[in-house]
Structure 1
Amino acid sequence: MKIPISVKKTEVSSNSKSMQASPSGKRRAEPDEQCPLHNKPHPLRNCRGFRSKSLEERRAYLKENNICFKCCASFTHLAKDCHKNVQCRECRSENHPTALHPGLAPWISETPVTTREQGGEQGEEAPQAVTAKCTDICGTTVRAKSCSKICLVRVYPAGQREKAVKAYVVFDEQSNKSLARTEFFELFGVTEGTAAYTLKTCSGVMETTGRQANNFIMESLDGKTHIPLPTLIECDMLPDDKSEIPTPEIARHYPHFKRVVDKIPAIDPSASILILLSRDVPQAHKVRERCNGPHDAPYAQRLDLGWVIVGEVCLGRAHKPEFVNVYRCNVLSNGRTSPFDPCTNSLHIKEKLDTPEQHRQFLGANASEILFDGKDGLGKGVFQQTPHDNKPAMSVEDKLFLEIMDNEVFIDDSNSWVAPVPFRQPRRKLPNNRAQAVKRLLTLRHMLEKKPDMKEHMIR
């Protein structure tokens, strides 16, 4: 008997990617064609109503409607599968579109409208607008943003300016040799000059090898400064955090940086951090001008290669750091720094006696003042200390020897000193050496048989 099998046919729409079937079977326009929030013929990514919502509300709306978080223009794919290139028009970031820019929309006032500006009407009190300016600098990251001495320059071989490339350089006065990444050597085709060198970092000392580049010129963006570079050694252990590069947006939020806003270049996404300039290029480190500001604010310096900003630039100062850059890894019990973890199998005890009278329970007052400094009284009430504590003591056998000599040494009738042999007590039984004595006797007899004269002299 055959078992009946029943199936339900499922139809898959073969329309273009810009269409999606709704539960009712009707065509559903993509968010880039019709705004799903207002059902109007304008893209969702340009919708002012959608942009006016908070970032959490916008994200929740995209998630509920299965809209791509990256482009905000399609129901048919997710952000991880999106191949569109997006750029925020407000912060120039390539990580999110303008519709998902954090913070308030540009057309929303940061200050509440006063009663005078409303014409004196008494109505509902308008809610006060709350802004988070720190998101303009730090973005959506949970850690504070900090800037270091990083500058955008042009680098090219001497006499070949047409081969110039833009690169970021890091200024480090704690290094004694300038370094360059492997990418730098690949860009200019440097293949010769490999040499061994010793690299000393916080992690320890290591022997490594790398190529060396010579006869390179470093030029500022305005073309006014040209600095010959020393020999660059190949090393990939260079700082590579592009979030620490100063930007005009950072300078715009600090009053004492207003005059340098237009002098700091925007982030160049095509340029990488390729060079670390050490103190072997003193001209590059010299400060020609500076902007200090308040004590707890970041400061700016004008170097020959351009302006740099140094310090924590977070406006709110409320971020939790994810990573901490330190030169000192661990502090041992003796106060020295070490990259190794300290031993946990150690015990440190410190006892503080309350009164000086406790120091004198076992010693006199003068001895106590000499032996103890009053800072650490460990053991003063447990062990009696004397000036002879650090001297080596006699062993048990030494004491027994002295006792034997004291009790058994005497002067005999001939007025001579007589002393016993100080054997160990109790004396051990001597071993049986008969075999050794017989062997020596046979050897002597054999020798005398060969030498009659010697035998005659010995017998006499």
Structure 2
Amino acid sequence: MKTWALLDDGSDVSLFEQSLADDLDINEKMKPFSLTTVNSPGVHRKGMEANIMVKAITEGEEIEISKAWTVDRLPVSDRSIPQKEDINTWPHLKGIALHTANKADIKLLIGCDTPEAFWVLEERRGRRKEPYAIRTPLGWTLMGPTSKRNDEPFQVNNIQMDETLHSQVRRFWELDHHIEDCKEGFGHSIEDKRAISIMDDTTRLVEGHYQMELPWRHSPPTLPDNRKYAQTRLKHLERRLQRDKALHEQYKKTMGVYIQRGYAKEVDNNQKNTQAPVWYLPHHPVTHPMKPDKVRVVFDCAAKYKGTSLNSQLLQGPDFTNKLVGVLIRFRQEAVAIAADIEGMFHQVKVSPKDVML
């Protein structure tokens, strides 16, 4: 197809009219993009994105324009098309061959995203304020005022397209209006519903602490006697603490705090609940390089004995953790944000007496 093309180094995107796309039988999926001009910043549009090949009528070199977008109409006046009489007016421009397309419509705008279209192969310059011509790989083009009359209207072409910025802003507003933390798009499983039911039916407020029954997968649970396994793990822990006196002191201090605050207490065989399930939890110390003076005691609920563990006997339940995106966005809702921490959080929840050995 033959058409005029405008070289516009003030545009960071190449555009072509929808009528040209129809003539070239280009049929791509319409996608949204944002187009900024001098008078219309950030106008939302829809168009097709395509790669097209262009070349001058007389020149043999082809140039590929990648990711050119279609628009209904290019905001370019036909006054931008150079005429033969414009060249003959200026002595330094005589002899330049301008070729004419079949129609005097400018249906293609080549922006600076195709820099090779602006390469200067030859140049014709006059004095200051006079038009000049350059020969590019697409032929001769004329720049500057070609008429000596000062009463003609002027034309400004400035086009900018930023699809990435538009999508980022749209995503920002979508996040700001959809901050529901609990909804991941999946419903609760049957086991999740059972776990929620146990929590709802058995949770009580007892002496300032919440108390609930353990969400057993099967009642009563199938727990073999793992005392020997736990004793073996304890022997390994003792040898480790004997080798590291500092760790031993810190571990003993942490256990002392548990007993002092009522998180743990010694088992009295005379008061043992023979109806409750029995499972011995191995434990070990965990340290953090940022807190070298603090030792955390981890109770290994995933420790397996004869193919089972305490975790495997309990229902996991749904994930009620707040999503980080929602937490961060809610910091913007009010003037003051407050963060708090529950000390010994996992030790603040009481277990129902029927699930305790004592």
More strand by share: 2
Which of structures 1 and 2 has the larger relative contact order (alpha carbons within 8 angstroms, sep 6+)?
2
Structure of higher CA gyration radius: 1
Name whichever structure is richer in helix by fraction: 2
TM value normalised by structure 2: 0.41
